[in-house]
A = this chain, B = another copy of it.
Amino acid sequence: MANPSILILAGDGIGPEVMAEVKKIIGWFGDKRGITFDVSEDLVGGCAYDKHGTPLHDDTMAKAQAVDAVLLGAVGGPKYDVLDFSVKPERGLLRLRKEMDLFSNLRPAQCFDALADFSSLKKDVVAGLDIVIVRELTSGVYFGEPRGIFTEGNERVGINTQRYTESEIARVARSAFELARRRNNKVCSMEKANVMESGILWREVVQEIHDKEYPDVQLSHMYADAGAMQLCRWPKQFDVILTDNLFGDLLSDMAAMLTGSLGMLPSASLGAPMANGRPKALYEPVHGSAPDIAGQGKANPIACILSFAMALRYSFDLGDEATRVEKAVEKVLADGVRTGDLMGPEGGTPVSTAAMGDAVIAAL
């Protein structure tokens, strides 16, 4: 049987640095555990634009469609701010999401014990926090047509369209309910049904899928503004939050920041099952390309390493190996090993990106 395949798209900014540490860990799995991956690499984002004039070359797109899992670093940087919308680094990422049909984006917001003091929130509000935001990732205002900047009379008008079909809502709702069953069995769905008809349809379909297929899961609905408030006030009230592409963008970033563990948070974007029964999948850290610290060996590779752990669990059925990686990360943190972003008043051992990766490997 062929080895499982991985396409690495390290991208821009700190992407290549943090991905270098993941490659070490992939190597460790081959050497020490006899689990070998076929790894290929390619470009996405600004670096792809620099080489090909497009943030995602068609060949790269084809490779991404063919592998078992894509690992992505980060895209974007100030250098590319001047580019036209259609070739901005982000378009590469959005094309991957759309064409691979990765409709379910799982974004854990988890507070690591060793880091609870880093949150701007009070320790008791975030300590032990462990929630997941399930964000719809292939539709909504990110992709709806018509869109663009038009001229009407003597002025410009900017237009985007929020658009959700019943089946788009249903499939991401199912993935949230499935996840909730493996966790604390609670889903809170967020929209603006008091203002937007697309939110009304969202609420109705989520409720229908729940009543027909997942009546055992506890379901509640909240307006997204109230949801943002409640996430700030007492995030532990949630287990799984289900929401659309745009609200999910804001709410998941916010939730990640709440934990104080931004440099630690992975994400998985999952699509429909492939022939082998596993979902199409892309894994990436929640943090961005952090151009301000790129190339300096300062970046924290843990979010990217934990994204690989998610790949082990969701794409390769290697849940135990995933846990092994997660436990190694916990040990390293407990030992006080710290990249710059994790240095707090109580100190610790300051390390570079590479040394952090080495520490995780040592702990494995």
Interface of A toward B, CB cutoff 8 Å: 76, 85, 88, 90, 94, 120-122, 125, 141-142, 144, 147-149, 152, 155-167, 192, 194-202, 205, 224-226, 228-229, 231-234, 246-247, 249-251, 253-254, 256-258, 262, 288
Residue contact B149 to A155, C-beta cutoff 8 Å? no
Assembled-state Cα–Cα distance A232/B162 (Å): 27
Residue contact B233 to A157, C-beta cutoff 8 Å? no
Residues of B within 8 A of A166 (CB): 155-157
Residues of B within 8 A of A162 (CB): 141, 158-162
Assembled-state Cα–Cα distance A164/B149 (Å): 10
Assembled-state Cα–Cα distance A76/B195 (Å): 13
A158-B164, A225-B250 known; 18 other A-B pairs, CB under 8 Å?
A120-B121, A121-B121, A141-B195, A142-B195, A149-B200, A156-B205, A158-B197, A158-B200, A159-B162, A161-B161, A226-B253, A228-B251, A228-B253, A228-B254, A229-B254, A232-B232, A232-B258, A246-B246
Assembled-state Cα–Cα distance A94/B234 (Å): 29
> What is the distance, in angstroms, from A120's C-beta to the closest C-beta of chain B?
5
Question: Closest 5 A-B residue pairs measured CB to CB?
Answer: A158-B201, A158-B198, A229-B257, A225-B253, A228-B254
> What is the distance, in angstroms, from A209's C-beta to the closest C-beta of chain B?
13
State which of B121, B159, B224, B247 has its C-beta within 8 Å of the C-beta of A122: B121
Residue contact B165 to A155, C-beta cutoff 8 Å? yes
> What is the distance, in angstroms, from A221's C-beta to the closest C-beta of chain B?
10
Residue contact B250 to A228, C-beta cutoff 8 Å? yes
Which residue on chain B has the smallest CB distance to residue A162? Answer: B160
State which of B142, B196, B228 has its C-beta within 8 Å of the C-beta of A160: B196
Assembled-state Cα–Cα distance A330/B231 (Å): 28
> What is the distance, in angstroms, from A72's C-beta to the closest C-beta of chain B?
16
Residues of B within 8 A of A228 (CB): 228, 250-251, 253-254, 257
Which residue on chain B has the smallest CB distance to residue A167? Answer: B155
Residues of B within 8 A of A225 (CB): 249-250, 253-254
State which of B158, B226, B250 has its C-beta within 8 Å of the C-beta of A199: B158
Residues of B within 8 A of A122 (CB): 120-122
Residues of B within 8 A of A88 (CB): 194
Residues of B within 8 A of A226 (CB): 253, 288
